[in-house]
Structure 1
């Protein structure tokens, strides 16, 4: 399966953002269980992060990202890219 990357920037205050982190972590764990090999994290400097995962297509990747609680609750703006691996 191709890899996809959601690069995000936080757009709400920290208190609002933090209330959705447990749901975001549960969402990512569910992706892992479903075989998407998801990984999530944040930048060392404050204000954004990344979700790396596999999906069958860009359409599926978009559908997955739309279900992320951080996206559904308006906590981040993001860009979604297909990542083409050249060396493993």
Structure 2
């Protein structure tokens, strides 16, 4: 399955953002359990974060991102890209 990357930047205050982090983590765990091989994290020295996951198509990836609690609650702006692996 193709790999996709959602690169995000927070657009709300930290208190608001942190309110939705537990739901985001639970959502990523659901993606992992469903076989999407998802990983999420944040940049240590730069605001924002990333979600890496597999999906069958760009349309499927867009649907996955749309259900992310950080997106649904307007906490982040993001870019979604297919990531083409060169070396494994």
Answer yes or no: same fold by TM over 0.5: yes
Q: CA deviation at 1:47?
A: 1.9
Query: Is the counterpart of residue 21 in structure 1 residue 21 in structure 2?
Result: yes
What is the distance in 2 between the residues matched to 1:74 and 1:46?
A: 20
Question: Matches of 1:45 and 1:18 in 2, distance apart?
Answer: 18
Q: Which consecutive aligned stretches of 4+ in structure 1 deviate over 6 angstroms post-superposition?
A: none
Q: Does 1:8 align with 2:15?
A: no
| TM score, norm. by length of structure 1 | 0.98
CA shift at 1:70, angstroms? 0.1
The aligned length equals 88
Query: For residues 16 and 75 of structure 2, what CA distance do their matches in structure 1 show?
Result: 8
TM-score by length of 2: 0.98
Matched, 1:57 2:57: yes
RMSD: 0.6
| C-alpha distance in structure 2 between counterparts of 1:13 and 1:44, whole Å | 18
Q: Which runs of 5+ in 1 are unaligned?
A: none
Q: Residue in 2 aligned with 1:30?
A: 30
